[in-house]
């Protein structure tokens, strides 16, 4: 099984180049000022210019307004990852306003009951992202993981990706348990919040390639 990869929260030319060099399928840019990984649309545009067309460029947002989405889209994004409390109605509105943009909806998972929200996004989102529930201001990128066994027998209503607490050492176990075909990492390739490590990016992408 070929597992695709997304490296999220990049903010420097060097880390973007490393992710591209080692085969990342998606690169994510965070547009949320409270995050240590946040970039401006102008900074994202500069970084996206060095990314080849075959690599998808995702913008990560938390309850964004259309003005921010428009400015970020102009940087060269190919998709929106919605990581806040966006309702089904709001996502429908975003899809109507930006019909050519792929939309991912992140779901915060702590127990099996949290998966009950997944079917609500059928026909609205193109993909669900299962991430660990957090208690603070930041909705993701905290290095936390949920019980992967929750996904073992789950019938997914949409294409999906796995996130939360992944790193080069546990990715094989995570994929074996969940059957994930797309994995998303941020803090697992950092030395401290927001500071990406090129060696960790390379090690993670190489570990996925061996699956």
CATH of the domain at 162: 3.20.20.70
Q: What is the pLDDT of residues 52-70, one digit of tens each?
A: 999 999 999 999 999 999 9
Q: What is the pLDDT of residues 130-184, one digit of tens each?
A: 999 876 545 555 668 999 999 998 999 999 999 999 999 999 999 999 999 999 9
- The pLDDT, as a whole number, for residue 133 is 83
**β-pairing verdict for 182-185 and 4-8:** parallel
Rg (C-alpha) for the chain, rounded Å, is: 16
Q: How many domains does the chain have?
A: 1
Residue found under tokens 């915060």: 108
Task: Enter the DSSP assignment of 49.
Answer: T
Is 65 marked active-site?
no
Distance (Å, rounded) from C-alpha 155 to C-alpha 126? 16
* Paired tokens of 131: 């991430």
Give me the catalytic one of 25, 131, 167, 184: 131
Q: Closest Cα to residue 107, out of 153, 164, 177, 64?
A: 164
Examine the residue annotation and report whether 131 is marked as an active-site residue of this protein.
yes
pTM (2 decimals)?
0.94
pLDDT for residue 205: 98
Give the structural domain span for 132.
Answer: 4-209
């Amino acid at each position: 099984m070929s597992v695709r990869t997304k490296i999220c929260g990049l903010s420097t030319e060097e880390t973007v180049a490393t992710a591209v060099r080692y085969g990342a399928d998606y690169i994510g840019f965070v547009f949320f000022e409270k995050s240590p990984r946040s970039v401006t649309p102008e900074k994202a545009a500069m970084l996206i210019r060095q990314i080849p067309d075959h690599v998808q460029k995702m913008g990560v947002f938390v309850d964004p307004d259309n003005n921010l989405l428009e400015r970020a889209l102009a940087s060269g994004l190919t998709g929106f990852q919605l990581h806040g409390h966006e309702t089904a109605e709001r996502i429908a509105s975003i899809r109507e306003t930006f019909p050519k943009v792929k939309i991912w909806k992140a779901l915060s998972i702590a127990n099996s009951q949290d998966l009950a929200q997944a079917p609500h996004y059928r026909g609205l989102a193109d993909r669900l992202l299962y991430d660990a529930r957090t208690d603070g201001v930041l909705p993701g990128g905290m290095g936390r993981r949920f019980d992967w066994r929750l996904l073992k027998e789950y019938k997914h209503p949409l294409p999906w990706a796995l996130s939360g607490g992944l790193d080069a050492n546990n990715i094989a176990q995570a994929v074996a348990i969940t059957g994930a075909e797309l994995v998303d990492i941020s803090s697992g390739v950092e030395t401290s919040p927001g500071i990406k490590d090129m060696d960790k990016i390379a090690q993670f992408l190489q570990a996925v390639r061996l699956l």
